[in-house]
Structure 1
Amino acid sequence: MLGFISARQAGLDDPVRLRRAESTRRVLSLELNKDRDVERIHGSGINTLDIEPVEGRYMLSGGSDGVIVLYDLENLSRKPNYTCRALCSVGRSHPDVHRFSVETVQWYPHDTGMFTSSSFDKTLKIWDTNTLQPADVFHFEGTVYSHHMSPVATKHCLIAGHRQEVLAVSWSPRHEYILATASADSRVKLWDVRRASGCLSTLDQHNGEKSKAASESASTAHNGRVNGLCYTNDGLHLLTIGTDDRMRLWNSSTGENTLVNYGKVCNESRKGLKFTVSWGCNPEFAFVPYGSTIAVYTIFTGELITMLRGHYSTVNCCVLQPNFQELYSGSKDCNILAWIPGLREPVPDDLSEKSPPQQHLNPAYEDAWSSSDDEG
């Protein structure tokens, strides 16, 4: 660390290098924080979480009971031991509460004064955060499994479909008109909302080698339902998860399967699975619900770094607070857990007599940064 600081002060290193090194260290040291609780409000499983991108302070949760809760993540007491309190909630007694399970909640990308929610009750609601009243309600003929507002555009309307349910959707963070959708028909499609035909391509796990003589309709991304989508933060790649227990990484420009092998990624969910990626690390990481645990993978090599254990039942969703590399996860056990980077352990005075802390030997960290970078 001292080496990074000295190099930055001397102008030898870009300041971003220090930030990436510390962000990477923090992700690799994530652990269940026993001093930080998230107030338990939900009486059933938690399906979805979202942290607003403006301050990174407020978090939404949506549950199988239709309840939506708004939390304040900031430690106002400044005490080591504290609870993230629920500021307000759309409870079962609220006149506009969703009648069935809330599958997705999302903050408006540019303002905490508004958020959205969608549910198995076939509605999508736009909420005024201050009054906790719906500003508008959209009714659909089919179940709404997932919705997503673009982080770079706000005035798009899209009607697109697959042969079966669309289980996950995600706007590209790079191109404001590009949308990815994942379906129960094993397909992942990329759409350009400016085109009359809409669909740009259908991703093929075999990169066309086994279906050259077949039509595009034969192209599948997975050998099961595709229920998870997540772009990397630069928008250059797309991660997908299917019930074939596989995760795949795609080049979002060419649609090519990069063939990164993540091994078995256990996925028994019959609906959308919410996973997330890191931001500003080297290498970058994916945080994936894996049964009652959360698996942490390096995105571009497929290495399983660690399994975060703490939930008592199936994990449905996780979300990263990128400013501090804090992870929050929601589960069928009705709990939201906070995973916080461990404190930096002091380096022993005599390295010849005492080995460095185990966390410094993480292979992902060693691959990313040479030992000479850490010398002060």
Structure 2
Amino acid sequence: MLGFLTARQAGVDDPLRLRRVESTRRVLSLKLNPDRDVDRIHGNGINTIDIEAVEGRYMLSGGADGVIVIYDLENFGGKQQYTCKAVSTVGSRHVHKFSVETVQWYPYDTGMFISSSFDKTMKVWDTETLKVMKVPDRLLPSALSLPLSFSLFSASCVLTFPCHKVPYGHRAEVLSVRWSPRYEHILASASADSQVKVWDVRRASCSLLTLDQHNGDKSKASSEAVNTAHNGRVNGLCFSGDGLYLLTTGTDDRMRLWNSATGENTLVNYGKVCNESRKRLQFTVSRGCSPEFVFVPCGSSVAVYALHTGQLVTMLRGHYNNVDCCEFHPDYQELYSGGKDCNILAWVPVLRASDVEEESDRCGRTALVNPAFQDAWSSDED
């Protein structure tokens, strides 16, 4: 680390390189923090969480009990041991009739957030009053063009646009939708029909791409004429931080990495990625690291993979039941995960010298055969 600081001061190294290296070190040292608790409010499993991007201070959660909770992640006491307090809770009769499946902050202001549910409704909330806002119809098109991510559970018709030739929308329920962080008019949808489609919301025509796991090789495809991304329900989507790649997960226990511009399956092998959920699975990608990492719920653990090599880096274990969602905090390289045990756990960098030395040893050996790790774990001898 001293070598990086010296190189930065001398103008030899780009300051961003030091930031990438330190971010990577922190991600590789994530541990369950015994000194940080999150208020246990939900009486049933936690389906979704989201951290606002303005201050990085407030977190939303939505549960199978139909409850939405807002937490304050800030440590005001200054003590090492503290609890992230629930500052607001909205009970089930005021929120949704059934399980809350997604919550999402408005990206430019913490004064508004959005929720969706199995009751086939999506609601826009005023954070101060915790009441549902009435959004004029004329504002809906601009609101929907924001870089927000929702899961839609009503029917395949949600993402079906008019087409003069043939029907081309999903043939089963849409389980997950994600907006591209690179282009605000591009979104991807995943469905129980085994398909993933990429859409341009400015066009009243068919989807731009339908992802094909076989990259057009019909000899490997089934007898069906349609392209499939997985051999089962596709219940998870996530773009890389730069929007150049799209990750998908399915009930075939596979995760695939796609070129988001061409729709090409990059054929990165992540091995078996256990996925028994019939609903949306919320996973996330790190930010500012080199290489990037992906955090995926896998049973009662969170699996951490190198994004572009598929290498399983570690398993984060701490939940007592299946994990359904996780969210990465890019400001502090922390991870929050929620599951069916009704707990939200905080995973934070543990940078004790012994831990870093042990992790450096392990990843240093990996770097010998995997150049992607060399930036993060290069020697400080210079």
Q: TM-score, normalised by structure 2?
A: 0.88
What is the CA-CA distance between 1:216 and the residue it aligns to?
9.1
Q: Does residue 1:222 correspond to 2:230, yes or no?
A: yes
Tell me which moved more, 194-203 or 249-258: 194-203
* Matched letter for residue 43 of structure 1: G
Give the alignment partner of residue 328 of structure 1, picking from 322, 336, 341. 336
Matched, 1:128 2:133: no
Secondary structure of 1:18 counterpart: helix
Amino acid at match of 2:348: I
Conservation of the 8 A alpha-carbon contact between 2:253 and 2:275: yes
Give the corresponding residue for 1:112. Answer: 110
Give the superposition deviation at 1:175: 1.1
SS in 2 for 1:218: coil
Give, as a single letter, the amino acid of the residue that structure 2 aligns with 1:28: L
Query: Could you say which residue in structure 1 is the equivalent of 2:292?
Result: 284
Q: Distance in 2 between matches of 1:212 and 1:360?
A: 41
Distance 1:69 1:240 in 2: 28
1: CA distance between counterparts of 2:96 and 2:222?
43
SS at the partner of 2:208?
strand
Q: Name 2:315's counterpart in structure 1.
A: 307
Deviation at 1:172, TM superposition (A): 0.7
Distance 1:73 1:57 in 2: 5
Whole-angstrom distance in 1 between the partners of 2:281 and 2:378: 40
- Which residue of the partner structure matches residue 374 of structure 2? 369
Matched ranges for 1:197-236 at <5 A: 197-210=205-218, 217-236=225-244
Deviations 1:197-243 (Å, cap 9, x if unpaired)? 14111000000012699999520000000000000010100000000
Q: CA deviation at 1:152?
A: 8.3
- Name the SS for the 2:273 alignment partner: coil
After superposition, the Cα gap between the structure-2 partners of 1:17 and 1:342, relative to the gap in structure 1 and judged at 3 Å, is same
Q: Which residue of 1 aligns with 2:27?
A: 27
Number of residue pairs aligned between Structure 1 and Structure 2: 354
Of 180, 183, 201, which residue of structure 1 is paired with 2:188? 180
Are 2:293 and 1:293 aligned? Answer: no
Contact 2:176 2:236 in 1 (8 A): yes
| Larger helix proportion of the pair | 2
Summarize deviations over 1:92-126 as a string: whole Å, max 9, x none: 3xx52211100000000111000000001111000
The list of structure 1 runs, each at least 4 consecutive aligned residues, that deviate by more than 3 angstroms after superposition, is: 211-217, 364-367, 370-373
Structure 2 unaligned spans of 5+: 137-143, 150-157, 161-168
Report the CA distance shift for 1:373/1:212 in structure 2 as closer, same or farther (over 3 A).
Answer: closer
Tell me the amino acid that sits aligned with residue 345 of structure 1: A
How many Å apart are 1:149 and its aligned residue? 6.9
% identical equivalent positions: 69
What is the correspondence of 1:45-194 to structure 2 with a 5 Å cutoff? 45-92=45-92, 96-136=94-134, 150-151=146-147, 159-160=159-160, 161-194=169-202
Secondary structure of the corresponding residue to residue 4 of structure 2: helix
Cα deviation, residue 270, structure 1:
0.4
Indicate yes or no: 2:23 matched with 1:16: no
How far residue 374 of structure 1 moved from its aligned partner, in angstroms, is: 2.1
What is the root-mean-square deviation in Å for CA atoms of aligned residues? 2.4
Query: Quick one: which amino acid aligns to residue 306 of structure 1?
Result: T
Equivalent pair of 2:106/2:112 in contact (CA under 8 Å): yes
SS at match of 1:357: helix
Aligned pair 1:261/2:261, yes or no?
no
| CA separation of 1:360 and 1:65: change in aligned 2, threshold 3 A | same
Q: Residue 338 in 1 paired to residue 346 in 2?
A: yes
Report deviation, 1:332. 0.2
Unaligned runs of 5+ residues in structure 1 are 139-147, 348-355
State whether residues 214 and 221 of structure 2, in contact with CA within 8 Å, keep that contact through their aligned partners in structure 1. Answer: no
Distance in 2, matches of 1:193 and 1:207, equals 25
Q: Does the CA-based 8 Å contact 2:214-2:220 persist in structure 1?
A: no
Report deviation, 1:375: 2.8
State the SS of the aligned residue for 1:17.
helix
Q: CA deviation at 1:373?
A: 3.7
Q: Distance in 2 between matches of 1:213 and 1:89?
A: 48
Once residues 9 and 215 of structure 1 are traced to their aligned partners in structure 2, the CA distance between those partners, rounded to angstroms, is: 61
CA contact (8 A) 2:145 2:184 kept: no
2:33 counterpart letter in structure 1: N
* Alpha-carbon spacing, 1:307–1:320, altered in 2? closer, same or farther (3 Å): same
TM-score computed with the length of structure 1 as normaliser: 0.89
Cα distance in structure 2, aligned partners of 1:220 and 1:50: 29
The secondary structure found in structure 2 opposite 1:131 is: coil
Contact persistence 2:148–2:178 (CA under 8 A): no
Which position in structure 2 is the counterpart of 1:141? none
Alpha-carbon distance, 1:151 to partner: 2.6
Give 1:144's aligned residue. Answer: none
Q: Deviations over 1:160-190 (max 9, x none)?
A: 3410000000011111111100000000001
Corresponding residue for residue 282 of structure 2: 274
Offset at residue 2 of structure 1 (A): 0.6
Change (3 A) 1:192 1:215: farther
Contact conserved, 1:192 with 1:199, CA < 8 A, in 2?
Answer: yes
* Deviation string, structure 1 residues 8-32 (Cα, Å, up to 9, x no partner): 1110011100000000000000000
